[in-house]
Structure 1
Amino acid sequence: MNSLLKNLLSICHIEYLIIDENFKIIEKSLGLNHFADIPDEVKQGEDIRIVFPELEGLEDVFDAIRQGEQDNFELKGIMRSQDIASPLYIDIRITKNIQEDYSSNPLIILVEDATERMVLEQSLFQGANEANLLLRNLKASKQYIEQIVTSIADALVVTTLSGKIKKINLAAQILLEYDEVELLGQSITKVIREINSSPLIIRDIESINLLQSQDINSLEKEVETVCYTKSGKTIPVAFSYSIVKTEIEHFQGYVYILRDMTERKQAELAKQGFLAMISHEVRTPIASVTGMASLLLDSRLTAEQQDFVETIYTSGNSLLKIINDFLDFSKIQSGNLELEEEPFGLRNCINEVLYLLTPKAREKGLKLTFLDTPKVPTTIVGDITRLRQILINLLSNAIKFTGTGSIEVSVITRKNSNINHSYANTDEIQFSVKDTGIGIPRDRVERLFKAFSQVNSSITRQYGGTGLGLAICKQLCELMGGRIWVESELSAGSTFYFTIAASIIPEEPESQQLARATTVFSQLEGASYTGRVPDTESPSSTFSVSPRPCVSVSSSQPPDSHKLRILLTEDNLVNQKIALKQLKSLGYSADVAGNGKEALQLLEKIPYDLILMDCQMPVLDGLETTKEIHRWQESSFASGCRPVVIAMTANAMKEDKQMCLDAGMDDYLSKPVMKENLAATLEHWASVIFKAKEMDAVEQTVSTTDVGSVDLPIDWERLHQLSENNPEFELELLQLFVEDIQPRLEIIKIAIAADNFEQLAREIHQIKGASANVGATTMHLAAEKLEQLTYNQECRGTTNIISELEEFVKGIQEFLIRTPNF
């Protein structure tokens, strides 16, 4: 081979062999040994088939190339090394010798290193196989997920970060009445409009990055709302949702799970209807039984009759308590029980409970004690009714399960450790009720606070009860931000502890505390108070109830209470007799109407001051009757002398009370009406009615009375000096004052809701200055209180002060209306 061709092959990294017609090597390149199967055999005169055994059997191919029947022949990708770390592959090409310097007809065999190409091809092939396998897995995974999504009974909606719908499952299509294609790209608010108010709607990826430390894929708490279908129906649903975050923006967004609540809502309505029926249909005869028994107890009876009637009365009240427990438990379970947030005296609350349960304790010869200390808060903010309910339940149980000894109530306070932000800035108040009763086995303690569960079946047979009392106490404590537990030893007694979260109102001066304590204890007829009234030198004081005769309920009515004109509207004859007897014993008399229509007819003839109104009556019920009375007020009662309407109904559900108030009733008494409750209600409204009458009398003479003699929260002397005794200027000044203050009060309400203390301070300062200028001293003092709360950035207590300010302004405004030409 000439040097030019040799150089060309060398540059191309190709080795060569020249063989004759007998397959003998004539010539070879220097680097060929590296590619030979047996490197030592690569030499002239050696058979090429020994050096490259892959050519064995290709003799016909060699002949065809020599004779020109075939141009060349290739063998590609021949493995020479099986070492994975250092593989070696070659390509062999057989072609006719293009040189004429050989007498025979030789052939050239070209050998090229194909390792790089073969490794690349193998990698590509392996990658293709792996990609194909991955694709199959992804396809199977997608089918798997789609089958799961399709099989979910609840509706599922997937959206982008901006709330655009990307996918819905079959259940969602059925619920919303849309095909998936109709909702793709639509906003989630098309079907759930209230979603805009949700605090977890995130608009951009930066917002999601803030949640790196949280489990952002966890479902948020279920929220009840409504969704809107294609046909326009509104369906109640409960939805939960989760933020989905991945490295690819296309796969980020939200997953919503919607649960159709229609059946549950229907079940709740059916349950409420049943409870309402129980409330009315069962409580009504119980009210008759206990009412009649109560009246009999006030009559002359033999000892045996007295015993029988007391049994009837006690049994009726026990049955009523069971019904009330069921109603309370149902309200709590359904989430319909709302707690009040009002200031009340803590000591008074505890003492009232002790006073109520004194007769039961006395019957068993038990000592009932309240360990009062200076550290017990005087006034707290909370729900006095529910706190009283817990105390009554625990003390009743203590009395029930204690044969001899004593029962002791104590209270301590400490800073609230509850992490729930709802109870920030509150204190934890811990109550304990300790008895010397039968105790509770350790292995039975966990059953105490479960519904319909007692320590054992013999407890129910011996002591009675539904097993709901402590379960209700537990739930009430939790609703009030606390908990309940017990420490007990069999045959040695039990101590029940419970806590609530409440705000403590700062203590009053000691002189006022002393006056209140004296009043409270003096009202507890027959009770003895051992120890001193709480002061800084006394470590504790004790309220002990000594055995004494049962105290009958007595009424303390205001003067001329017998002049209160009362109409009793009641269709049940038994209830009529009970109510009339109770009224008579309290010093009242009343006319009777059998239904609402009769009541309206009587009202046309007699201007009644107060109506005791049953709700469920034939012809015209109490709700419609009350609405009609309000319609009359616009015409017949133009003077404003509408009678006070008080509901007296066996419907004890929260919704029933609200229905009465919405219909325009002024107050609500639940049957069976206890005489003491009736007395307190009548006393309150008698005071209101007589005061209103006195104001009417003043209004009738106001046109001939000096401005300064009218009872308004105004320092008239200062106003006279300011106006130089000019009545017209005074009225003009007061009118401007009202017009300035009213919008400021509205701004104050908005500022309080937004915690905008800066704006709040500005408006209050203006009110304080203006009220001082016109001599509205009372308003000035109230504004100062509100200003102090604002400086402390404390919203609690502002509502009452604002109500006072509004009443002051209203009083001035009414005065101006009554004296337009003064």
Structure 2
Amino acid sequence: MDSMKSLWWSEEVEAIYKSSQKISKAVVLIIIIARTFSLAIWPSYHTLVLWIPTFCTHILIYLFLKSAEYKSAVYKAISILIFAEYWNNISIFIWSPYLQVHSGLAEMFSYISIYHFMIPVVKNQWLWNLFLIKHLYIWHIHKIIIEGEVRLDHVSPFLILVIIIVVCNDRAQFRQSISFERFLYRKELELSRSKLATITQAVENGILIISNEKIEFYNSSILQLLGCEGNNLYSVLQRIEYCLDKKVTKMTNSILLFDDINFALENIINNEICLGITKQGTINLEWRVKKIIWESRPCIFLSIRNANQIIEMESNIANDKMKTILLRSVSHELRTPLTAITHFISEFSEQKKHKLNSEDIEQLAIISTSSKLMLSLINDLLDYSKILAGVFSIRKTYCKFREILKNTCELITIQAKKKKIVFICRVDPTIPEEIYTDSLRLSQVLLNLLSNALKFTMKGRIEISCLIDANGKLKCYVEDTGIGISESMMKKLFIAFSSQNSSSINPNGSGLGLSISNFLVKSLGEHPIKVKSQVGKGSMFWFSIDIFQGKYDQGSYEKINTLEPEELHYFSLSKYERYRSNSWTDVLVVDDDEFNLEVIESILNKYHIKHSKAHSGREAIKSIECRDTKHQFKVILMDCNMPEMDGLETTREIDLLYKEGKIKNMPYIIAHSAYSSDEDRQLCFRSGMSDYLLKPSPPEEIISTINKYL
């Protein structure tokens, strides 16, 4: 409707329409008043018969002009017709005095004036045909009402003109209208085809439509992908074979692509099928086929795309997945023996320190430091695997910064002393005692930067400085007098496995530390690690992280906690006395590794916590079932990775025993695992476990976690 309206409606017609509203209303009012007076002065039967309906019609027309909203094209067209009708009445009064002839002749001239006035504006002659036919109809009604018949001698020149215009104009305008509409449709069709051609030629995918062994359509991309011309495209298509093990569809057993293409005609319309991969030189092509209706007949639509990037991406994803699995497995296997090493070294150092000489103590310290550095390397490998898998996460809590820094510096001090390098640690006293961050990640960053400085410093000093900047962020500087970094290496410094090529100086280093540290710093704060270096003189690394949970307010970050008398008494006890009160409680330790069992037993014995042990999930279930209901285990420390029945399955079995009423109380189960991803944690919690400990765990953390549930 809008498209047809646009053919005849224009700004000029809009202007006529607006002016016609006022003029038509005025003319109608004048005629109503004049005819009312004429009826009052000279009433006659014929006049009443003729003019009373006309009078009512004029009243309705006036009401229409007054009340209509003129929002649609129909209302606007009617308004113009009314305007033209009353323009005709005015024209008759204008022409009649000059012509001094029959009123029909004056009416003819009035219509000619309207025709010349309106034709340059209005494009659609159907509107005027309607107008002329209307007046012819009114004339017939007039003759029937007045004289009861229509005779030939009543036909005025006006009526002859009306008939000629209606007949001739109707035939010519009909042909013109049809021709014009065809012209518009042809233009729209050409525009649509032009747009379609632009789109099909622009896409990288090859497009081909086939019907009855004939190519109906193709774009330029398919010629480029297949390396052929349009005249031999069909023959090339018939010779294409699938790559080995790259056929996806099972429609036929043929290795020829064309056999499956023809078979696709038996398929459901618009049901797309991936045929498989073919090789064209170095390009892997993926073929997809669909049955469509093209020009009222079934055809085959083929879509071809270069699959090199997708295959490469899938290969990279598979490689990353394999790396993640390998790193996860290796790190787990490394953590297990490391748990025993770190624990027994610590125990031996504490128990035998009075019986050892200074050299033995120093050697034990080196072993302990090396094991902790090894743990740091394992953490780097684990973090890298998490980053590759997209499951890395930060866990911020309140922690003591000075304690974190002290533990880190102790590891570096021993190594620096061995290399006779001065190690300096400076801490701004305005740094709050407790900060809000991920303590494990912050410790990892500091250790990586300090280890890196120690690795490439042969003499001189290493210095770490920590302060609070103007924005309330913790800023740490690590400066050394080492070999320095060249500008070319500076660009690769934070890329994984691109450690500085200094094998002649120091062969150690996996090339992961700085890359992961940079990632951690951006996760803890907003900005990456910055570096400034000069070859032969040394380097300086620095970073800043957020350490406040809310908005930074200088001077208000120190919080004083008050303790109840009972809590004060509890913390005044020694850690041995503190747990002795729970000595009656039973704990079950489940682990398939004998070394891990000995470590946990050693820790529990030290804190006087009674316990039992099981070497497998099934043994743990038997121990729980054999226990008297009055002395059930309250806490189970469960290894997650065990043969036959792992920790998750064992936990679910214990939960089933409780639901079936075979055990009175459900024990608290603490996961003790070397897997540290969020997914592993969630699997543990979903199986029914209450808490999670990562191997190797410090003894204090193991005891405090167990004590929560005793």
Tell me the TM-score normalized by structure 2.
Answer: 0.50
Question: TM-score normalized by structure 1?
Answer: 0.44
